[in-house]
Structure 1
Amino acid sequence: MNRHDGDMERTFAALPPAHGRGFAQTWWGQAWLQALEESALDSGQLKAGRRLARAGAVGAVSVRPGRITAIVQGRDRTAHRADVLLEELSAERWDRFLDMAVERAGHVAALLDRDMPPHLVEDAAARGIELLPGMGDLEPECGCGAWDHCGHTAALCYQVARLLDQDPFVLLLMRGRGERDLLDDLQARSAAPATPSSEASEASTSPDAEGVDASEAYATGDILPPLPELPELPAEPGVPPSLDTETPPAPGVDPAALEFLAARTAAEAHRMLAKALRPGPGQRVVEAELTLDQDAVRLAAGAPLADVAERLADGSGRGREGLVTAVRAWQLGGVVALSVLDEEWTVEGERLARARAALDSAWDEDERPSLRAKGNRWTVVGAPRQLRLGQDGRWWPYRKEGSRWVPAGGPAQDPATALAAAQAGTEEASSQP
């Protein structure tokens, strides 16, 4: 492959200060910050990094495969070179990603629009390609000599989250592929005609192919013949048969609802199979069976027809508006996010001590909002914003729309990051006509 050398490094001018706003508005930008916050051992360094980034202390950011770099000025005005490393994808994984992308026109269209929809990332993960970093994937190096994330590398990561909001190709460049190379490869693969492999052609055209007696083949094995390889994961879920026939349905049978249920079942089966076939060490955790209410929300997230959605709203007991809110939560975090929406519980003992410590260290004294606590919910006094603590210790942002509290973003380890997402969502909602 001929790479465009100029495409393999991009430099972004220093961004202006970010007072009073969050660092990530998109879900992939928030996933980047979640990887940082789960990796850093010292929450105080994250707080210092946010303060430096908000103050505009991060200089021009250089992005190249496997590394981001910037000069960051500390509070004492001392400049340090900060680097954060992220593993590049192998050539074989890039080939799999490109093959996956051209199989669905929507993936290519999303990339051209500088968008990274969840289904693109999920489909890539199903092929064993993790685009977004996970816990421990962001490796820091800083001229200040810190061995873990310091305020300088944290500030760099917070600033890069703003760049990722604008252009997800920044992440793909970190993973090893520049924008022009990626788009050229996608275009070449989209235009290439499908041809059978040479081995398959030879096998199908060979007139002298002969079999082996079954008893002889069995006798040559040690105990039993080896099992065949697992079949390839289909690129798309199966398409259920159409129920549009001339035969009228039996009383009480809704063909549209049955078609929708069959399509969602096929999609869920495809997702579960992809997860089961995903390479990884250790035994996989068996997911708990969904309750009827949870399953109704899952089905409603599949954008059913209006009459089916109405039945799901009634059957779940949530009503139309309640189901819309539940679907929003489901799309942000599945069963966990749904429990945060529905459950209010008392925070006690060690959990309460940790929550208070996180809230105390999240803001400077002059920036700390006034919060009113009730159970696992902390509401900003005089503002339509709220933090909810999940059972796993993560903070979820909520905002008030009318008389209803609705989720405003994904979870964060740091309450300040979560609350910034709630504030950004409130400002966006208020700016709409």
Structure 2
Amino acid sequence: MSRRHSTAGWSTAFTAAMTTSVADTALLTAARRLLDTSADPAPLNVNAGFATSKFPLPDGRAARPRLLVDELTAPQWERIEQAIADRPDALSIAGTPAISDLLADPATTARIAVVPQPTDISHTCTCTPARTSPCVHTAAVGLLLAERLRTVPAPLFTLRGRAHHHLRTRLRTTPASRSRPRTPQPAPTPHQRTTAPALAAPAAVPIPAPADLDLTRHQPAPTHTLGEPPGPLPEHTALVTLTADAAHRADRLLNGDPVPHDPDTGTDLVRLTALPHGQHLRSAVMNHLNLDTVGMAHLTLAHTQGGPGGAAAYLYSFTVDRDILHEAQAAIQSLRPAPLATIEIEYNRITDRAVGIQLRYGPDSRWHPYRNPYGIWQPVPGSHADPARAYQAARAAARPDRRTT
């Protein structure tokens, strides 16, 4: 008979790997004492490839340890996700942050271990210049992470290079009848941003010869309905839409209203579908951007609340300078209801799962707040250049409206 699902096994397996990498019982004992006696311990930050925190030193400086973990490759993650998606109980064991420790067994994840092995773990810390060996601070980070994994294993997925929400999205969109294995697709690297699929270019056709027009006589205006234009020109409906959109932009310019510059096709499409002359394209835009009805609604909301920058923050993952992310994390720390809970940082996103808040940094240099009341991140009003203000907006969005009508 199969055992009941639990999450504790993640912590047990990670603790075993981490303690083996430290290989010093006295050092581990000192690390436990450090955590027990810290008056104001810093939060644990989990990033792709490393977990970090900070601890005060006797000389007034702060030690900034990093527990480094080898990331899994994109093909490895593809095999892991496919193995999980092929299980009939996939949603129940992996569809929430409480991921069953059944998956801590490599036999269930295509013989690829999600839990790092001792040889996958290394240590660096600023307590001693250029230190690359275990110290009390890196051991404390490992113990702190192991304790977090006991109830919420999702940060381990981020640590190994692919956040858990990627798997959740795949499980939600995989039909009940298991799909055939797909060709592995590489995940976005840190120097790339993910983009919507490009539209296929039309086949090249020769330019037709010019028509022989008589411009010396009066030509009556046509009163009948014109047929579809010859290929490869857009269809009549598309031409009407393009003309209406050009007129809309011109009208805004003539009235002194700024015309936003949409940085890419995806954000321009959502702008178009929000206008009366573009609403009929909604289904086509959903297909082009690979969005379902809920996703399209959230994208429209992101554009309404944050403009093109908000839509881009919803659609894409951007590489952001680490200093920007760490300054933002420091700015929101005093506002967090659970200041010791894990912070996850992935690309342009800072996630505080303990309270269901995420901030996404957009190409407009503003932080766009998100909440996940139903398990799916959705934009809320209050984007701001100051991450603290955006975080406060996300918290305010969670409070019930006590106004009376």
What band does the TM-score fall into relative to the shorter chain? Answer: 0.3 to 0.5
Higher percent of residues as helix: 1
Normalising by structure 1, report the TM-score.
0.37
Normalising by structure 2, report the TM-score.
0.39
